[in-house]
Amino acid sequence: MSGGVLSAGQAALVLFGVFIALLIVRVPVAFALGLACLPILLIEPHLSMMMLAQETFNAYNSFILLAVPFFLLTANLMSIGGITDRLVALSRRFLDRGCGEPIENLHRCPDQGGL
């Protein structure tokens, strides 16, 4: 940040200081992360709200981040549709030789991962 009001160390100190202060007063972490950047936006002349919005959108515009909610949605749909119960029954049928739950879980993980 050449020509800026704050050096990188000072900006980091302000960001972490505000973040920790907000956590101490029991502000939720998601809000504390967002609110911690507000003092830097007000102090630093090179930063604007448009730049903040663009960088936030670019950070969340990722297929990798979309995989997690879709994986959870798929798991819920499998559970509602009864596929999970049928997979458990299939595993128990194959492993009903007294091996127990740990072996059943090891057998079921690749099956559900393949769906």
The pLDDT tens digits of the residues spanning 56-99 come to 788 777 777 778 888 889 888 988 988 888 887 877 776 666 65
So what's the pLDDT on residue 1? 42
pTM of the model: 0.48
pLDDT above 70: residue 2: no
Query: Please, are residues 6 and 40 in contact by the beta-carbon 8 Å criterion?
Result: yes
| CA distances (Å), origin 86, targets 49, 51, 79, 83, 92 | 51, 50, 10, 5, 10
Mean predicted confidence (pLDDT) in 42-51: 84
